[in-house]
């Protein structure tokens, strides 16, 4: 595949105009949209308005002029992207906090069952939150069973309250074959909680049709809501009557402004609100979501797979890159919206790429991760990124002392089990 062919693919791309929605610097290749989406122009305008006109001029009247309804409004904008009918999605808190609320709710919806089943290589925060809940409730009421991916179904039984799954693995981009797992969980009488952080905005998701019970997802990755944008909660209608969640803040109360001393849960998903919504960042996410209004998620998926296939094909045809091992599935349908390779010197290679304005990231212990966001990633970006990587590896540029030194530091960090500073999620 030549660079000209990539240019041609971009010209034929039905989603090509969406790139203009984003503030992307000329010459920079951004392959980290699965960690932090770039700034949409309309978000810059909206945030300026919220600060100047709403907070600045309306002051406390802002709550009556739309702020109080924002969590619900943003939830309703997310709903069509994840195959959810109205009244089941609300925007609040972080994914981590929402996992805690939903796991607790799942245990409460399945009395007599204490086990949360999840996979060892799930995103760590999901496991940490489950461990925290287990520590709080005690073993008799809550236990986390962390198992390997291929034994998930075997571990579902009459003690399982909830199967907690992340459909796309954050490290490798591998997708679960969801339907059989969901079916097995339901057959065992358990609920299913999905973490859509790497799915929402990256591929079609069908929560209602797939009979999913509960889900969480991230606002700052493919949804482009900005650093620390609030997350969302989905709870299927059929659970609304009976559900309770333990972080009983006043915003989830039936009537927060009555200031009653006893808690009475608000209707449906509204009880998943805890404290006052973060209006500045939620407004940013609200504006960013308007980009999706007319977008067909199937077209997003098709372009995403074409981009990843392009990356894989180009990398495979570069002799200089023979030492990199493809970690993402070669089978397109099993692939999320990213491509990953492993190499013992992966950290140094990513540092060298970043120096050349190709932003990708590194995931311990040895993974080079390239996120593909079909709304703004172009085929020509893929060509240029692989070309840069080929040059860095072929010429041995990544072996320069500065990259090696940082690679050495990185491995020391890992040994001392310290978290790397410059990467988040």
When binding is defined by CB under 6 A, the residue of 81, 231, 345, 368 that contacts ligand PLP is: 231
Q: Between 54 and 166, name the residue whose CB sits nearer to ligand PLP.
A: 166
**Tokens matching residue 70:** 């924002």
Is 221 catalytic? The answer is yes
Which of 276/395 has CB closer to ligand PLP?
276
| Least distance to ligand PLP, CB of residue 129, Å | 8
Phi then psi for 118, rounded to 5 degrees?
A: -150, 175
> Beta-carbon neighbour count of residue 141 at 10 Å?
14
CB of 231 to ligand PLP, least distance (A): 5
Selected catalytic residue, list 101, 113, 369, 378: 369
CB of 93 to ligand PLP, least distance (A): 8
* Interface of this chain with ligand PLP, residues 377 to 396, rule: CB under 6 A: none
Binding of ligand PLP at residue 94 (CB under 6 A)?
yes
- Token look-up 């482009």 returns 224
CB nearer ligand PLP, residue 62 or residue 246: 246
Nearer to ligand PLP, 231 or 345 (CB): 231
Alpha helices in 189-335 (DSSP H): 279-289, 297-316
Q: Does 200 bind ligand PLP (CB under 6 A)?
A: no
Q: Which helix (H) or strand (E) holds 92?
A: strand 89-92
Q: What's the half-sphere exposure (Cβ side, CA atoms, 13 Å) at 307?
A: 32
Taking the least distance from each CB to ligand PLP, the nearer of 96 and 414 is 96
d(CA 225, CA 246): 27
Smallest distance from the beta carbon of 230 to ligand PLP, in angstroms? 8
**Which region among 83-91, 137-145, 192-200, 411-419 touches ligand PLP (by CB under 6 A)?**
192-200
**Residues numbered 121-150 forming contacts with ligand PLP, rule: CB under 6 A:** 123, 125-126
Q: Which of 30, 100, 123, 170 is catalytic?
A: 123
CB atoms within 10 A of CB 380: 18
Does position 170 bind ligand PLP by CB under 6 A? yes
Which whole-number Å values give the CA distances from 67 to 75, 212, 279, 287, in the listed order? 13, 30, 7, 13
Q: Is 206 in contact with 84 (CB distance < 8 Å)?
A: no
**Neighbouring C-alpha atoms within 13 Å toward the C-beta of 146:** 12
Residue carrying the six token digits 């609300």: 90
Contact with ligand PLP (CB under 6 A) among 143, 197, 224, 245: 197
Tracing tokens 């493919």 back to the chain, one arrives at 222
| Token pair 């909830």: residue | 162
The answer to whether 95 contacts ligand PLP (rule: CB under 6 A) is yes
In the residue annotation, 69 being an active-site residue is answered as no
* 96 scored as a contact of ligand PLP (CB under 6 A): yes
Residue 173 backbone zone (phi > 0: left; psi -120 to 50: alpha; other: beta):
left
To the query of whether residue 195 is one of the catalytic residues in this protein, the response is yes
Tokens 């003690």 -> residue: 159
Scanning 25-123, the segments in alpha helix (DSSP H) are: 41-49, 70-78, 95-109
Indicate which residue of 13, 93, 126, 195 is catalytic. Answer: 195
Choosing from 183, 309, 420, 425, the residue that interacts with ligand PLP (CB under 6 A) is 425
For the segment 277-296, give every residue that binds ligand PLP (CB under 6 A).
none
Is residue 169 involved in binding ligand PLP (CB under 6 A)?
no
To the query of whether residue 123 is one of the catalytic residues in this protein, the response is yes
Q: In what order do the strands lie in the sheet with 325-326?
A: 325-326, 338-342, 367-371, 361-363
Query: What positions carry a catalytic annotation?
Result: 123, 195, 220-221, 369
List residues near ligand PLP by CB under 6 A.
94-96, 123, 125-126, 166, 170, 195, 197-198, 218, 231, 425
């Amino acid at each position: 595949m030549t660079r000209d062919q990539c240019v041609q693919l971009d010209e034929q791309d039905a989603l090509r105009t969406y790139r203009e929605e984003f503030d992307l610097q000329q010459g920079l290749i951004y392959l980290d949209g699965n960690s932090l989406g770039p700034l949409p122009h309309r978000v810059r305008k909206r945030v300026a308005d919220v600060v100047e006109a709403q907070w600045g001029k309306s002051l406390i009247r802002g709550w009556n002029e739309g702020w109080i309804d924002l969590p619900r409004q943003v939830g309703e904008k997310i709903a069509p992207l994840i195959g959810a009918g109205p009244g089941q999605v609300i925007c609040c808190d972080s994914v981590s906090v929402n996992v805690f609320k939903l796991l607790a709710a799942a245990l409460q919806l399945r009395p007599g069952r204490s086990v949360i089943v999840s996979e060892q290589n799930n995103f760590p925060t999901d496991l940490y939150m489950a461990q925290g809940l287990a520590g709080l409730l005690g073993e008799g009421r809550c236990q986390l069973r962390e198992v390997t991916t291929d034994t998930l179904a075997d571990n579902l039984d009459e003690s399982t309250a909830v199967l907690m799954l992340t459909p796309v693995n954050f490290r490798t981009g591998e997708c679960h074959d969801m339907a059989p797992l969901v079916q097995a969980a339901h057959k065992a009488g358990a609920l299913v909680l999905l973490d859509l952080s790497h799915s929402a905005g990256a591929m079609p998701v069908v929560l209602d049709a797939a009979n999913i019970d509960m889900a969480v997802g991230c606002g700052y990755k493919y949804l482009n809501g900005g650093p620390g944008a609030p997350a969302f909660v989905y709870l299927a209608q059929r659970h609304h009557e009976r559900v309770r969640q333990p972080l009983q803040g006043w915003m989830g109360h039936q009537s927060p402004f009555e200031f009653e001393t006893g808690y009475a849960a608000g209707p449906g998903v509204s009880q998943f609100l805890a404290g006052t919504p973060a209006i500045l960042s939620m407004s940013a996410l609200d504006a960013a979501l308007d980009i999706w209004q007319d977008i067909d998620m199937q077209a997003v998926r098709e372009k995403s797979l074409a981009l990843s296939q392009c990356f894989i094909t180009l990398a495979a045809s570069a002799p200089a890159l023979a030492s990199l091992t493809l970690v993402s599935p070669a089978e397109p349908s099993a692939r999320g919206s990213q491509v990953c390779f492993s190499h013992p010197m992966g950290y140094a290679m990513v540092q060298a790429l970043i120096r050349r304005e190709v932003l990708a990231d590194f995931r311990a212990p040895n993974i080079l991760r390239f996120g593909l966001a079909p709304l703004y990633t172009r085929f020509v970006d893929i060509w240029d990124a692989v070309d840069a990587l080929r040059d860095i590896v072929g010429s041995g540029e990544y072996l320069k002392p500065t990259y090696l030194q940082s690679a050495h530091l990185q491995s020391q960090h890992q040994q001392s089990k310290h978290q790397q500073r410059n990467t988040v999620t």
